[in-house]
Amino acid sequence: MIIWRMRKIFLLSVVFIGLAMAQGSDPVVAEVGKAKITLSQFNLQWTLFVRQELDNQGIPFSPETEAGYQQYKPEFLARLAQDQAVINWAERKGLGAKPDEVEASLAETKASFPSEEEFAKALDDAGIPSLETYKQLLYAALTYNAYIRSLLPNIKISEASLRSLYYLYRFELALPEKFCASHILLNTKEEAAKLLARLAKGEKFEALAKEFSQDPGSREEGGLLGCQPRGTYVPEFETALRKLKPGEITKTPVQSKFGFHIIRLEKVEPAGYRSLDSVREGLTGQLTRLVLQKLVARYAEMEGVKLYPENLGGS
């Protein structure tokens, strides 16, 4: 399912609401309960969707770039109808957005722009014909979101479900073997040799790194580079690092394109998997979204949805 996203001036779930447009020869493309979605209403939402998708990719909107999305119109229509079904249910439950809520949301959006003119230009750039149309879109978004929020307390994700999803996608949670290292970077081999001699006499690695290392990224941390997987460092550095045991320091300077390194292996973190607890929140959110998708589809089914994709034409 295509993720339907809007520009920053819109809410995340802007969905269809019966917009006051001239009907005439405007064919119906979907019936959702007693509500009807016409071609002109679909085209407004479709244009908003395509503009956002292109904007996310840094591609200007044009008839030519829009044409690349034509195949998704039937899928988008089905999603639009599902969302309208949720709005129908929300309104029957008394969760339709109040006028003051719409005005508050409008004021919040306007406040993110330096002027009324910039806000009006943003609406025009997004293909929204009027402020009233935008307010109707806000009403739809607020109503839809209010109903979705009302469902969340009743969605309980079991531990068994979490564990099942965790083991199903465990391969995606793999952690590679990591080498935790510190280094002192010097400009010449002679400088590096002198520091190696001082280390051999018992001077502290961290202190020497802070005083002499030419690597500004790790100098203040006593030379600490953190823990990185194979392939992170330049080949000469990594080859020398992997020959060390934890706590060991290279016996001779290691030359790379950056200069001469004195390397210490701090520890090796073995390959493994992220723990269930570390990904619990993300998995819970994923399962919750799946449940919501099924609920929305069910509401559309109960509401009674009829789609007429043939009326979309080539527009």
Q: Where are the domains of the chain?
A: 28-157+282-312, 177-270
pLDDT of amino acid 169? 86
pLDDT of amino acid 228? 96
pLDDT of amino acid 269? 95
pLDDT of amino acid 15? 43
19-30: b or e for each residue (b if 16 or more CB lie within 10 Å)? Answer: beeeeeebeebb
Rounded to whole angstroms, the Cα distance separating 305 from 289 reads: 22
Task: Give how far Cα 61 sits from Cα of 4, 28, 115, 154, 299, Å.
Answer: 17, 26, 24, 41, 34
How confident is the prediction along the chain (315 residues), in pLDDT tens digits per residue?
Answer: 222 323 333 333 344 444 434 345 789 999 999 999 999 889 999 999 999 899 899 999 898 999 999 999 999 999 999 999 999 999 999 999 999 999 999 999 999 999 999 999 999 888 888 999 999 999 999 999 999 999 999 999 999 999 999 998 888 899 999 999 999 999 999 999 999 999 999 999 999 999 999 999 999 999 999 999 999 999 999 999 999 999 999 999 999 999 999 999 999 999 999 999 999 999 999 999 999 999 999 989 999 999 999 999 765
pLDDT of amino acid 22? 39
In angstroms and rounded to an integer, the radius of gyration of the C-alpha atoms of the chain is 29
Query: Domain 177-270 has what CATH class?
Result: alpha beta
Q: Can you say whether residue 259 is alpha, beta or left, with left for phi > 0 and alpha for psi between -120 and 50 degrees?
A: left
pLDDT of amino acid 3? 28
Rounded to whole angstroms, the Cα distance separating 206 from 218 reads: 10
Do the bridges between strand 224-229 and strand 272-273 make them parallel or antiparallel, or are there none, so unpaired? unpaired
Between CA 27 and CA 36, with CA 31 as vertex, the angle to 5 degrees is 60
- Where would I find the beta strands (DSSP E) of the chain? 28-32, 35-38, 174-175, 178-186, 224-229, 254-256, 259-269, 272-273, 305-307
Which CATH topology does 28-157+282-312 take?
A: Triger factor/SurA peptide-binding fold (1.10.4030)
Rounded to whole angstroms, the Cα distance separating 135 from 128 reads: 10
For 251, residues 6+ apart whose C-beta sits below 8 A from its C-beta are: 196
pLDDT of amino acid 19? 42
Other Cβ atoms within 10 Å of 158 Cβ, number? 9
